[in-house]
Structure 1
Amino acid sequence: MLKGFAPIALLAATLLLALGWLMGRTGGLDILPAESYRAEVAEFHGRHLALLAAHGTGQSIDGIPVVHPPAGSDIPMLVKRWEFSPALELEPGKTYRLHLLAEDTVHSAAIGEAEVLLNPGVARVVTLTAPSSGRVRIQCAEYCGLGHTKMIGSIEVMAGR
């Protein structure tokens, strides 16, 4: 009877270690808990357009404009079926505040391994410090329709432009 217990105990210990490792990962991002506030879609769109005008790179990824905001920026990010806008180019090791607003239905922003639930009309603010290099995906983790699996945004970490 004890012989059968050892493999089960070993498997359980391995699963617990793996789960702990996965829960501690944030995809290289240092992310602080989100705060929230009520937001009007029209006003938020204006802030989004101002960001594009001030810090747009002239490039796009799958039709989503790319911005390269300065460190410490507040970045209004529109979340709607089936996109996160804008795509971001961030400086390594710098801190930013993402203001995420779901425009049409409930979404969720999984940034690295952290996740924030997004309800229409409520902006969620996520403070993050960019990793030293690489690309981190932003993905919707709340089913929002047939295009849900393609709802992926981008954070590209790159040294100054």
Structure 2
Amino acid sequence: MNHLTTDKTIRISKATLMLFISFFGFFMLVSNFTDYPTNYEYIAHILSMDTTLDREKYSYRAITSPMAHHRIYWLIITLEVLFTVFCMMGTYHLYKNINTSAKKFHEAKKYALTGLLIAVFIYYVCFQIIGVEWFNMDESQRWNYKDWARHIVDFILPLMMYVALRIER
């Protein structure tokens, strides 16, 4: 007997997409912890604005202190840990509630949505707005996360809307 309904398929797809973004967060953390120097170098160059056009004109925006670079990088890592943990918890709660009422399944989304919101803050606000608009990251040929961050946001925002929609019955 086939018990797979459209409603259940939608629930499974929401949980599975959250699993995918949780994998991304997990691998991002592994990269940050196992290859700290490489990722730190990116952040240091972006904050220092040492490879941007007209850097003398905008040098007042640059942060050149290595201590500040490390602290900002650790802030980013901390936010990525939070994003990943919330997404993993959200994935767990969505799978756990796949066969519950629509109301319970909808309430199970709160961890997932919190994790996705933190991810939007990291990759849109921090990298795309602050990195590009304040630190002119997009003007650097080598130290530029703009397109990478945009691709992440291009996945996260529709995912956030899809998960948040209350279309289950």
If the length of structure 2 is used for normalisation, what is the TM-score? 0.27
Q: Which has the higher strand share?
A: 1
Q: Which has the higher helix share?
A: 2
Relative contact order higher in (CA < 8 Å, ≥ 6 apart): 2
If the length of structure 1 is used for normalisation, what is the TM-score? 0.28
